[in-house]
Every structure is written in C-alpha cells, then in structure tokens.
Amino acid sequence: MQDIIDGFLKFQQEAFPKRSGLFKELATAQNPKALFIGCSDSRIVPELLTQQEPGDLFVIRNAGNIVPAYGPEPGGVSATVEYAVAVLGVTDVILCGHSDCGAMTAISTDTNLDHLPAVASWLAHADAAKAVNAARTHVSAQGRLEAMVRGNVMAQLTNIKTHPCVALALDQGRLNLHGWVYDIETGSIDTLDGTTGRFVPLAENPQVCATPVTTTLAA
C-alpha cells in the first residue's frame, strides 16, 4: 500500500502540475471519443497501450472483457455502454482481449469453478464462444486458449450489438466497433477484420475495424 501512496504523492507533485491545464478543463466536463472495454487483468492498462491522456477514453474493465447481451435487468456494464454511446456520443468502441487471460484459460480448460460461483456465472456470458471453441480441433492447449480469446472478443462484439443504443448508433452510421487482441509479451495487437472475420496485425492494418461483425466465431 505504501508504494501506491508514494505513487500518488509523485503524481501530485510531478505529473499533475505538468497537466494542470488539462485537468482544469476536465474538472467540469469530459468528451471521450472512444469506449475501451478490456479485462481487469493487472497487466492491461488501456491508456498505456493506446498512449491516451486523461479524458480521452471511457473505460470498462471486468474479468474476461465481457459485455452481457442486453436484457430486462441490465447491469453496470450495460449502463456504462448506454451512457458512453447515448450521452457521451463516443464514435468508437474497442473490445480488447489479451494473451494469457485467466478467464479464458478457465473456460478453455473447463476448470471447475464451483468454489467461485460468481465467476462461473459471469463467464457464462462467453458460452457462445465456448461452444464453438470446444467443437473445434486444436493442435495444442495454447492454440485452444488463443482461439478462445479471439472467439470471445467476437462473441462480446455480437453481444454489444444487442444493446438498443449501440444498434441505433450502428444503424445511423455514427459508431464503429473494433475487436482487438493484445499480446502481453510482444506488445502487438491483432484487430478483427469485420469483412473477413479474421484477425490481422493492427500495425499493418490501421484502418480495419470490426463493423460489421461477422456471425462466425472464427479465430
């Protein structure tokens, strides 16, 4: 805890003064252009990966970068998506999975989660990707995990399209969806090509996006 407190003190004394003008602007308003939906994994830092400043990203983080399909009892993720799209008017939604994801590892290895009932219930929102991935042949456990990570990104993009605010924004052409997979070891990102349903290197395909999302949960 002391490291965290020391970090805050360093921020207050060094980082904050350098951005005092920015924070003064942000004190009464925000205007992020993108909603970033990522995993709670401590190794994933959206602002660091994208080199964005405070106020640039609206962020949702949870186990497995999951977005439940819209339903009669929407939860916190649904409410945050709705606020970002309908109120803040973000123009892009980035749904980012990552390598060595604990949530996707649990699914791909069919780990017994009886002792973690809340986790098991939450990960059920990835059942579509789980079913497709389990039915396919994989050359290795690592290959199975990598395919699960990608399939889950595609499944969650499908889920987010069930949200009325997202469906409307897509229909009006004012929102783009992006599916990313970040590799922790190499620092690279693969992005989903919505036309082919395949993941390609983002560095070589910066204009590619996941809109429209294909229905096949292919890796």
Q: What tens-digit pLDDT sequence spans the chain (219 residues)? A: 999 999 999 999 999 999 999 999 999 999 999 999 999 999 999 999 999 999 999 999 999 999 999 998 889 999 999 999 999 999 999 999 999 999 999 999 999 999 999 999 999 999 999 999 999 999 999 999 999 999 999 999 999 999 999 999 999 999 999 999 999 999 999 999 999 999 999 999 999 999 864 444 444
* Whole-number pLDDT of residue 212: 61
What whole-number distance in Å separates Cα of residue 16 and Cα of residue 21? 9
**Pick from 75, 149, 135: which is nearest to 105 by CA?**
149
180 and 192 in contact (C-beta within 8 Å)? yes
Catalytic residue among 56, 96, 98, 198: 98
**One-letter amino acid of 201:** P
Catalytic residue among 41, 125, 163, 165: 41
Active site includes 39?
Answer: yes
**DSSP β-ladder status, 176-182 and 57-62:** unpaired
Where do the CATH 3.40.1050.10 domains begin and end in the chain?
Answer: 33-201
**Pick from 107, 188, 116: which is nearest to 151 by CA?**
107
**Pick from 59, 54, 61: which is nearest to 11 by CA?**
54
Active site includes 209?
Answer: no
Active site includes 98?
Answer: yes
Active site includes 163?
Answer: no
Q: Between 1.20.120.450, 2.40.50.140, 3.40.1050.10, 3.30.950.10, what CATH number should domain 33-201 receive?
A: 3.40.1050.10
Active site includes 41?
Answer: yes
